[in-house]
Structures are given as structure tokens and as C-alpha cells.
Amino acid sequence: MTPSADAEHRTDSDRTFEAFETRDGGIGVRNRLLVLPSVICSHIVADRIADELPGAVSAPHDHGCGQLGSDTDQSRRTFLGIGTNPNVMGVVVVGLGCETIQSDELAAQLSDLEVPVRELSIQSSGGSEQTVDRGIEAGRELLSDRADRQTDGTLGDLTVGIVSSDVRDSTVDAADPLVGEFAERVVDAGGRVVVAGTERLLPHTDDLRELAADDAARSSVDRVFDERRQEPPRTPGLQRRAAERSAEELTRSWNGLPIRDVLPYGERASHDSGVALVDAPAQFAEAATALAGAGAHVVLHATADGIPVGHPIVPVVKLTGEESTYRTLESDIDVDATRADVDDLEETVRDVLGGQPSCAERHGLTEFAVTRVGPSM
């Protein structure tokens, strides 16, 4: 997009956009029925169920079976996080029956969190075809009870997810600062910002400690980043390039605002307002799932390469500061950071929040991935 002439009147944080009222009195910007496989073995059946239900999305993944310890805990935490995302109006959990993360246990936990939920498993339903039929029926029950109550949302009602996939000059010097200005507007309005990409920040832990808002936040920085330093680097090239940039440059995507918390992967954000980091990689699909689990309504994705991916739970607004990328992939990029200002970005985000499809949504891009902690059996 390019700058428009009427930017002066567009910066009022009290301006509203159309949203959906959630069960807890908050807002959602989409009203999805999530068909959630509890295990890799049931994801094809989950996909088939979602395909038959209007407004339903599936979240196919490679997890839920043969996982150990922390890996199992993280997958379960992530499933609960995305199931309680404000854009999800209900969940159909689909299991196999013999997996590590049992579908009935997962459904019970979602129910305890006051999520409208139905559960079925392939083995107890008598096979795949029967499960598809029962899943469609369960989904229709949830959709019939769906309350499409419209309400007005403001920036202060939002949790905004942010991920920068690289440390190229165009991202650090053009896209990230633009995102950071918008993030500051959200925080100033009383909203929350959650930022993924731990490995981008790992070389600058001492500087992050200085950004911590209080002792509790400082302790969470120490805990998470100490754990990451003890592991073999997953993206050594990215970390090497990040070490060549300053902490000030690598925190531009949230304007260097104080850090309120550092969240484990998939955990729901609980801070009242301000910025929290999410212990997630910069790889987009895995980062977006962690941000959705943290409760993000929308994700802003800064990318030099213009990676054409989206997410099933949250709309994705994609920015690039690389002129050649925008020229080549204009239909996949929502904002040209070399020409837009923060008013233009806000207007684009408001349009998407109000229901206009982002580029990724328009193309039906719904990548879903969960980070692994360690090896699986």
C-alpha cells in the first residue's frame, strides 16, 4: 500500500472497528470454529471435517504422539492456547484414541476454560468415515449456538503479535521501526503486544535485562535466555547476524518499550498492557502459532523475502522493507514499508481487524506448526 492524503485524522486510538464479542466480554476479530487434531494421526480426518463446515479451520500438525516430557507439555499448552484464542468461538477436538495427548482429556481442559467444545476419536467412533460424519454433526451443533454478537473494538482491546523473520537491513531499518511505531500506539491505548523471535535477541540478553519493567520480568528474561544459551543453536546463521546488530536495532519492532514478561511457547499472555516476549523462533509458522497461543488477535510479520504464509487462527498483516520483494510479490504483501508511514499501517491493520481479508487470507494460506522442545519417539 502507499500513503494516502487523509492521514491526519486516522491516529485517534478511540476510533473503533467492527469485532465480535467473546464469551468473557472481550473481542475477537474473527469468529472461527477450530477443528483441532490432538495427534498427527487424526489430522486428515480433522481437515475433512473442517472442509464441510462454513467458517471452520483445521490445524494439522506433527505432534501429540510419542512425545516426551517437556515436548508433551508444550504441545498440550499450545493446543490449549490456540483453543482459547479470542478469534476461536468453539473447538471440535479429534483424536485417534491411543495417543499421548488424549482428545478427551484435552477437550475436558478446554471445557474447564469455558470453551464450547465437542470431542471424538477415530477408534471409539468406528473408523475414519464415521468420525468425519460425527465431527461434521458436532461442528454444526457448535455453529448453531454461535453468537455473532457484533461489538466495537479499539486498539486498547487488542493483543497484537509481532514476528520479524530475519535481520536483513531492510527489515531492521525499514519494516521493524514501522511496526514499532504501531506497537507503541497499541500500548499507549492500553493494549498488549507479544513479540516472537528469541534467537534474534539471544546475543543481547544483558540489554534485554535493562529493558525489563521490574524484577519479575528480569527474572523471566534470565530464566528463558539462560535455557536457550545452554542449547545448540537452531539457527546459527541468524544468531551470528543478530550479534552483529545492536540491541537497540533488534528491539525496534516494539520501539524498545519495557518488557513486562517472557512467555513460554504457547502460553496465554496475562499482563494487563505493554510488551511481552514469547519464547518462540523467528521461523514464521512456528512463531505465529506461539503468538496465537499467547492470545494475539492479529500478527504483523516483517519479512525481507516476502514469505507467502498465513495462519488458520489469526489474520496476518505482512510487511517488507525490501523494494524488490514488494515489486515481485505485491499481491502477497500488505504494506510496503519503504513508502508507508505508521498511519498507513494502522489503517491497513484496522481494515483487516474489521473483516477485510489480508493478503494471506485472500490466498487461503493457513500454515500451522508447533516448535519441538526435543526429540520424539
3-state secondary structure the chain: CCCCCCHHHCCCCCCCEEEEECCCCCEECCCEEEEEECCHHHHHHHHHHHHCCCCEEECCCCCCCCCCHHHHHHHHHHHHHHHCCCCEEEEEEEECCCCCCCHHHHHHHHHHCCCCEEEEEHHHHCCHHHHHHHHHHHHHHHHHCCCCCEEEECHHHCEEEEEECCCCHHHHHHHHHHHHHHHHHHHHCCCEEEECCHHHHHHHHHHHHHHECCHHHHHHHHHHHHHHHCCCCCCHHHHHHHHCCCHHHHCHHHCCCCEEEEECCCCCCCCCCEEEEECCCCCHHHHHHHHHHCCCCEEEEECCCCCCCCCCCCCEEEEECCHHHHHHCHHHCCEECCCCCHHHHHHHHHHHHCCCCCHHHHCCCCCCCCCCCCCCC
- From first to last of the 377 residues of the chain, give the pLDDT tens digit: 444 434 444 457 689 999 999 988 899 999 999 999 998 899 999 999 999 999 999 999 887 777 667 888 999 999 999 999 999 999 999 999 888 889 999 999 999 999 999 999 999 999 999 999 999 999 999 999 877 788 999 999 999 999 999 999 999 999 999 999 999 999 999 999 999 999 899 999 999 999 999 999 999 999 999 988 888 777 788 889 999 999 999 999 999 999 999 999 999 999 999 999 999 999 999 999 999 999 999 999 999 999 999 999 999 999 999 999 999 999 999 999 999 999 999 999 999 999 999 999 999 999 999 988 765 44
Where does a domain end: 115, 147, 179? 147
- Total structural domains in the chain? 2
Residue 25 lies in a domain: no
Does the residue 12 lie in any domain?
A: no
Last residue of a domain, one of 147, 171, 199: 147
| pTM tops 0.85, yes or no | yes
Q: Do 62 and 108 fall within a single domain? A: yes
Residue 373 in domain: no
Print the domain residue range for 71.
32-147
